[in-house]
Amino acid sequence: MLQFIYSQLIRLLLPFILLRLWWQGRQAPELRRNWEQRLGFVPGTRGTVVWVHAVSVGETIAAAPMVRRLLARNPDITILMTAMTDTGLTQAMKMFGDQVQYAYAPYDTPGSIRRFLDRTNPRILVIMETEIWPNMIRQCRSRRVPVFLINARLSERSARGYERIKGLVAPIVRSISWVAAQAEKDAERFRRIGVAASKVAVTGSVKFDVDIPEVVRQASLELKASFSARPVWIAGSTHEGEDAQLLAAHRQLLKKHPGALLILVPRHPERFESVTDKVGKQAFTLARRSLGEDPSGADVYLGDTMGELMMLYGASDVAFVGGSLIERGGHNPLEPAGWGIPVISGPHVFNFETIYQRLLDDRGVTMVSDADQLCRRLVVLFSDAGERKASGQRALSVVNKNKGALDRVVDGIIERV
């Protein structure tokens, strides 16, 4: 009954969802592109199809090493990557070109899911992290399509929320074939909300298997060379409410290191213009990457392009990981750690609690609470090359010693294809 009520509510909301999509498309036309795919009208797919669903950019990047490994292990399979956002699909296309197929994920109405499955006929559905869509999961299982949750994490806050609607959630999660949890805490929470213990395994986080393609390494070296040995720090995946604090820290830093450069990378492209305005109002000189402007004389270099954050981390000396000075829950600190550079974060990192705990245990990250603390840490790192190198190596060693989850996950998928 709860499943029926949920489906009817989604159907009732669908016209308003489409209207919102059309309205947002007035400012961002790309949102209207291929909109019919969201209703399940996707091109037909042939062969042995592995459907990989990643909600947005972060999950898409996390899926990349797995997709590359799957294609290497079985070149005959067809990878169909879906995302809920245009930025997620853009990221996937930038990474894989014509190696895989792409589509927007269908909205979770019974009809949209049915049309999507009729056209793609997947052999398996691999969901990155924790996207629990009732109709998507139930219809896959009714067609005997195994559903895997990979790199699965579940915060205590989310687990309590699911427990409040356990009548709806439990039948859905019982349809999941395998949960590859990042840590034992995540596994225990999945068992609490109804996943059978036999279907839950602790594989670790695939994000520790940091994969930096050679073309990305080369691009980062070329960009770094253009900075002419200036001290460079990057603030990656920043959100509204953080930029002012980051710019304040940079202003203080310039008093000690006048040649320092801040690479500022907002998380969402719709914020590029507003961040540009903030930088200008504070009288910093600005260069925008999207316009090909030379950063050599700038105080701030705006990373207002898509799919280049990993490369920009590699061109930097120190990294601050955004979404953490506000209660957003943080973003993936392993991307800068994989380059062997010092990692700094704010205190709000509940989305990556296991990863951050391992970094903290080995002193591979420094936590700060405000602009003053951030500036003090930056001054130390830029004043002491030995500490800067040691801090980066500690972060990299955490990445290296926790690798291996990817092989376990790929083995599990290959067995079912």
Active-site annotation, residues: 59
Q: Which H/E stretch holds residue 14?
A: helix 2-24
Residue 395 CA to residue 167 CA, distance in Å, equals: 42
Which residue, 269, 264, 333, 242, is CA-closest to 27? 269
Q: Which H/E stretch holds residue 95?
A: helix 86-96
Which amino acid is it at 197?
Answer: A
One-letter-per-residue 3-state SS of 215-253 = HHHHHHHHHHHHCCCCCEEEEEEECCCCHHHHHHHHHHH
Query: Locate tokens 């349809």: which residue?
Result: 175
Residue 302 CB burial class (10 angstroms; 0-12, 13-18, ≥19)? buried
Residue 106 CA to residue 86 CA, distance in Å, equals: 13
Residue 364 CA to residue 342 CA, distance in Å, equals: 7
